[in-house]
Amino acid sequence: MTKFVGVLTAGGDTPGLNAALRGFGKAAIEEYGMEVIGFYEGYRGLMQNRTVRLDGSNLSGILTRGGTILGTSRDKPNNMPMGGQFLDMTDTMVENYERHHLDVLVCIGGGGTHKSAAKLMKKGINVVTIPKTIDNDLCGTDHSIGFDTALGIATDAVDRLHSTAHSHHRIIVVEIMGHNTGWLALGSGIAGGADVILIPEIPYETQSVAEAILQRSRGGKRFSIVAVSEGAMSVENSLVFKQALADLEEAKKGPDRETAQARVQEIQQAHTANTINLAAELEKLTGLESRVTILGYVQRGGTPSAYDRLLATRLGTAAANFIADGLCGVMVAARGEGIEPVKLEKIVGKRNVVPVDHPWVVSARNVGTNLGD
């Protein structure tokens, strides 16, 4: 009997999404004779029933293309913006799933996408997920689609900043994506030879960073590269934020919930200027001119690396294999050289953070990189 399978890409765009769609679609159609329906713009497309039938013609020639032919959005099934309100549209999605007589829905995305998939699963939708995120913060998988490409882009940026820092005897502070984990900043900082690397998992002392820069200056090195993860915080700010999160957790079901939520959002909003403020402080403490570079969305764009194309193809074809074998409710995880199914309930709501004793951290310290502590 022919299986009918839906597929969507959700969350932030990431290099390798098209490669994953191609790998999954070609294997599902050519190897197993499945019918594959793509939903545009993530869960919003599933809610609006905006579809395209995937076949050899629209899956051809997309392996090397960045972005996603299906488009994406960050909309959540249970909190969908609709006419100025946020509504739970899960039941509508279930209706559309059933309207197409789908056997399984494949959701390609990061942490938020996996949470949403788990919610749909509780409503009776069979799901299989594929991990993608440049942040590398998904639990249960060794690698996520997009991380390798973003790591290469960020490393190239740090490489290029060395020449201008050296020419002008400056401190260059470069902000690197990663959300609330430091994999991207740590990896690109080490690979690019950054002198200071600041990540969320290790709160920093600004004075310690300034002293490391002054030590370099005294040793005749008149420039420094500071790689900052967007989620990195000073020790003081980290304590304030942790307390705000604890207050929100305590107030979740009480009358103070909105006040606690507003406090968390206030801190997060103020943090968006953290890198600029840090550069100004370092300039004041060291007497050296500082400049800020925020890489931003350039890290999400462009052609996926060879590794990401390979990983996306492996994960995509494995998803088709799992569906053919009747598996659902799982994430397709890269484990070592193999691929394994991991139950969604084991990984949803968890983050893969950088352990403070991780080999990358140890290596950074061994080559004299300052981590702000």
Residue 302's Cβ-side half-sphere holds a number of Cα atoms within 13 Å equal to 18
36: part of which helix (H) or strand (E)? strand 35-39
**Going by C-beta distance under 8 Å and a sequence separation of 6 or more, which residues neighbour residue 40?**
50, 51, 52, 70, 71
Handedness of CA 254, 255, 258, 260 (dihedral sign): negative
Beta strand 171-176 pairing with 290-294: parallel
Q: What is the DSSP letter of 231?
A: T
User: Phi and psi (nearest 5°) for 224?
Assistant: -145, 145
In 305-354 the beta strands, taken as DSSP E runs, fall at 330-335, 338-343
Q: What is the rounded end-to-end Cα distance, in angstroms, of the chain?
A: 60
Q: How many CB atoms lie within 10 A of CB 38?
A: 24
Q: Are 298 and 158 in contact (CB under 8 A)?
A: no
Q: Can 135 be counted among the known catalytic residues?
A: yes
Name the burial class of residue 166, with classes exposed (0-12), middle (13-18) and buried (19+) by CB atoms within 10 angstroms of its CB.
middle
Residue 271's Cβ-side half-sphere holds a number of Cα atoms within 13 Å equal to 21
**Going by C-beta distance under 8 Å and a sequence separation of 6 or more, which residues neighbour residue 98?**
none
Which candidate, 308, 288, 286, 290, places its Cα nearest to that of 299? Answer: 308
Strand partners of residue 108: 9, 130
Q: How many CB atoms lie within 10 A of CB 165?
A: 22
Question: Helices (H) and strands (E) in the chain — how many of each?
Answer: 14, 13
> Which of 103, 135, 137, 195 is an active site residue?
135
Beta strand 4-9 pairing with 35-39: parallel
Beta strand 104-109 pairing with 4-9: parallel
Q: Which amino acids are annotated catalytic?
A: 135
